[in-house]
């Protein structure tokens, strides 16, 4: 058992500090209010010191108050021998849960840029926003994920409903559609999902990560929404400038669609595989139709119909060359019902000095025509097709690239710093900065009564603030403010009335 000693100030009037000796560190953070009942604390009123020790778990009756004020040294010494309070402090590890992480301000800037770009693409394609709770009723997620069901995080049964953290954004979307009887919807959703990935099978994967999903629900003419999803994948991956990429379609699914759904003979399907092994989307389909064994086979033509249609649309979108077929690709999740696709970055590094990276899939999607029906009491289905962008992987690529090139990231957007060269100018600085804030200008100052001018200017250089306004005795006397450009250190005096307009002019020019 780990035992610790902590000193805390009491939170109650007329009290001095209190020493706490919890027997179990985890059970007590040292806050007296949560370790003792108020009547017990009342016994110590007016005393300067107290030693509390014992079993600090609730109920609070278990707390012992042994020594007050003059007896504290004795008690402390006795306990120190017995409990070794100072030693094992390094055992107290502050960390985030396994597989999770904080995002630092630098990481947040990169993350936000990526998400902005992704969301603006989704909006460009007419998608509406939607949000769902982080957890669902456990039964909503049951039997949706096949082999992966064991990776769902369940909440503890604390009375009431049994809940699970969402595993993806697709199942909650289908639940939303069924619950609200929505038959048609194009929505995007950016949010965190949670998966209890085992670190042995998936090194470096996070257990909490962000997904960006775009989905089209509804009964439409074939392959039009499917083609748009692939177009969106291409727009996002091009827009993020991640280097060359390819979208791989699962051949197993394509074959199944043709054979099981369109009734194509298995031999004919396998003959088609001879073609699709060669990379190259539409030209490939054209080649196939020039093969008399296929083009003169009515069954083959019908079986190939959807594929032909899809590649026609992809050609019109100018992205057919980005699509290829893959024999090894298979649906990871149970709910997919059609062809699935995955976007992979190609391994040629953009710059010679960069290390080649193996990042695997950065986006995936497919059709799931049966999922909504699993929620609907009458089994009514709403056909759906969608895609999910794996922003964590994209994020780590962009982050690594920025590190390689030593790019400096600004973590604030502050435009103006309010500085003074003199002492006792806090009041003037506060008045001035309030004027800037009220005019919508992003401004900071130092929370010091008398900061040094050099410290203030250094702060601007270090954090990338472009402008400094300086107010001192001289400026106050002359009714002006000095406006300084951090980049070239040029200073001009401006009347107070014109200051905001001049700053806005400078900011709009830069």
Contacts (CB under 8 A) with a second copy, residues 35-74: 35
- Alpha-carbon torsion, ordered 114, 118, 119, 120, to 10 deg: 100
Which position among 65, 78, 115, 130 is part of the footprint of a second copy (CB under 8 A)?
A: 130
Interstrand relation of 323-326 and 163-165 (parallel, antiparallel or unpaired): unpaired
- State which of positions 451-490 bind a second copy (CB under 8 A): none
Binding mask 273-312 for a second copy (x = CB under 8 A): ---------------------------------------x
Give yes or no for residue 146 binding a second copy (CB under 8 A).
yes
Size of the site for a second copy (CB under 8 A): 132
Distances (CA, A) of 22 to 7, 33, 39, 62, 188: 11, 14, 19, 11, 49
Question: Please, which residue, 349 or 472, has the CB nearer to a second copy?
Answer: 472
Interstrand relation of 245-250 and 323-326 (parallel, antiparallel or unpaired): parallel
CB of 498 to a second copy, least distance (A): 21
Please write down the long-range contacts of 398-401, taking CB distance under 8 Å and 24 or more positions apart.
398/110, 398/113, 398/114, 398/240, 398/242, 399/107, 399/110, 400/357, 401/354
CB of 456 to a second copy, least distance (A): 13
Which position among 1, 39, 94, 508 is part of the footprint of a second copy (CB under 8 A)?
A: 94
**What is the phi/psi pair of residue 423, to 5°?**
-80, 160
Residue 104 CA to residue 113 CA, distance in Å, equals: 14
CB of 351 to a second copy, least distance (A): 26
CB of 335 to a second copy, least distance (A): 8
Binding site for L-histidine: what residues are annotated? 168-170, 195, 211, 215, 331, 335-336
- State which of positions 153-172 bind a second copy (CB under 8 A): 153-158, 160-161, 163, 165
CB of 482 to a second copy, least distance (A): 20
Which position among 2, 115, 259, 486 is part of the footprint of a second copy (CB under 8 A)?
A: 259
Binding mask 385-424 for a second copy (x = CB under 8 A): --------------------------xxxx----------
- State which of positions 432-451 bind a second copy (CB under 8 A): 434, 437-438, 440-444, 447-449
- Alpha-carbon torsion, ordered 234, 237, 239, 242, to 10 deg: -140
What is the rounded end-to-end Cα distance, in angstroms, of the chain? 61
Give yes or no for residue 15 binding a second copy (CB under 8 A).
yes
Which position among 62, 202, 278, 316 is part of the footprint of a second copy (CB under 8 A)?
A: 316
In the block, residue with structure tokens 């990338």:
464
Which position among 37, 74, 84, 112 is part of the footprint of a second copy (CB under 8 A)?
A: 112
**Order of strands across the sheet with 63-68?**
6-9, 17-22, 50-54, 63-68
Cα three-residue angle 69-74-76, rounded to 5 degrees: 85
Element (H, E) at 8: strand 6-9
Closest by CA to 486, choosing from 416, 438, 428, is: 416
Which position among 45, 84, 89, 505 is part of the footprint of a second copy (CB under 8 A)?
A: 89
Tell me which stretch binds a second copy (CB under 8 A): 71-79, 189-197, 241-249, 497-505. Answer: 189-197
Give yes or no for residue 13 binding a second copy (CB under 8 A).
yes
Which position among 327, 430, 487, 493 is part of the footprint of a second copy (CB under 8 A)?
A: 430
CB of 32 to a second copy, least distance (A): 9
Which position among 427, 462, 488, 508 is part of the footprint of a second copy (CB under 8 A)?
A: 427
Give yes or no for residue 136 binding a second copy (CB under 8 A).
yes
Give yes or no for residue 133 binding a second copy (CB under 8 A).
yes
Question: Please, which residue, 370 or 472, has the CB nearer to a second copy?
Answer: 370
Q: Which residues pair with 483 in a beta bridge?
A: 469, 492
Burial tier of 290 (Cβ tally within 10 Å: 0-12, 13-18, 19+): exposed
- State which of positions 328-387 bind a second copy (CB under 8 A): 331, 334-335, 337, 370, 374-379
Residue 49 CA to residue 17 CA, distance in Å, equals: 6
**What is the phi/psi pair of residue 52, to 5°?**
-115, 135
């Amino acid at each position: 058992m780990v035992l610790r000693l902590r000193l805390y100030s009491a939170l109650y009037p007329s009290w001095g500090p209190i020493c706490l000796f919890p027997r179990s560190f985890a059970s007590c953070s040292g806050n007296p209010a949560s370790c003792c009942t108020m009547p017990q604390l009342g016994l110590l009123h007016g005393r300067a010191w107290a030693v509390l020790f014992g079993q600090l778990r609730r109920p609070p009756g278990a707390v012992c108050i042994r020594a007050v004020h003059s007896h504290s040294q004795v008690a402390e010494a006795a306990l120190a021998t017995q409990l070794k309070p100072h030693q094992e402090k390094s055992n107290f590890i502050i960390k985030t849960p396994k597989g999770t992480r904080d995002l630092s301000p630098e990481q947040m800037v990169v993350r936000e840029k990526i998400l902005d770009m992704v969301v603006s693409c989704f909006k460009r394609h007419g998608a509406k926003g939607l949000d769902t709770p982080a957890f669902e009723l456990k039964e909503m997620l049951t039997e949706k994920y096949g082999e992966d069901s064991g990776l769902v995080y369940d909440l503890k049964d604390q009375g009431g409903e049994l809940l699970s953290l969402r595993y993806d954004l697709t199942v909650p979307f289908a639940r939303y559609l069924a619950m609200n009887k929505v038959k048609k919807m194009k929505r995007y959703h950016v949010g965190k999902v949670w998966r209890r990935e085992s670190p042995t099978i998936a090194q470096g994967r996070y257990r909490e990560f962000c997904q960006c999903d775009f989905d089209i629900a509804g009964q439409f003419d074939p392959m039009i929404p499917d083609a748009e999803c692939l177009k969106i994948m291409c727009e996002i991956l091009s827009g993020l400038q991640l280097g060359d990429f390819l979208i791989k379609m699962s051949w197993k699914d394509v074959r199944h669609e043709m054979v099981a759904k369109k009734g194509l003979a298995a031999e004919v399907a396998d003959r088609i595989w001879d073609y699709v092994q060669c990379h190259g989307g539409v030209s490939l389909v054209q080649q196939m139709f020039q093969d008399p064994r296929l083009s003169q086979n009515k069954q083959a033509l019908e079986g190939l119909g959807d594929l032909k249609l899809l590649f026609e649309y992809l050609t019109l979108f100018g992205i057919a060359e980005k699509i290829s077929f893959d024999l090894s690709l298979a649906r990871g999740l149970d709910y997919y019902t059609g062809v699935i696709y995955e976007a992979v970055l190609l391994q040629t590094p953009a710059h010679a000095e960069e290390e080649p990276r193996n990042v695997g899939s950065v986006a995936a999607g497919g059709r799931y025509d049966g999922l909504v029906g699993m929620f609907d009491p009458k089994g009514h289905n709403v056909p759906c097709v969608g895609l999910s962008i794996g922003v964590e992987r994209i994020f780590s690529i962009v982050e690594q690239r920025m590190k390689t090139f030593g790019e400096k990231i600004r973590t604030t957007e502050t435009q103006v710093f309010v500085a003074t060269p003199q002492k006792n100018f806090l009041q003037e600085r506060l008045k001035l900065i309030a004027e800037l804030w009220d005019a919508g200008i992003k401004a900071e100052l130092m929370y010091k009564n008398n900061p040094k001018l050099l410290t203030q200017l250094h702060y601007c250089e270090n954090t990338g603030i472009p402008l400094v306004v300086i107010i001192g005795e001289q400026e106050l006397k002359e009714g002006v403010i000095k406006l300084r450009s951090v980049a070239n250190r040029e200073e001009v005096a401006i009347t107070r009335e014109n200051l905001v307009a001049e700053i806005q002019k400078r900011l709009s020019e830069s």
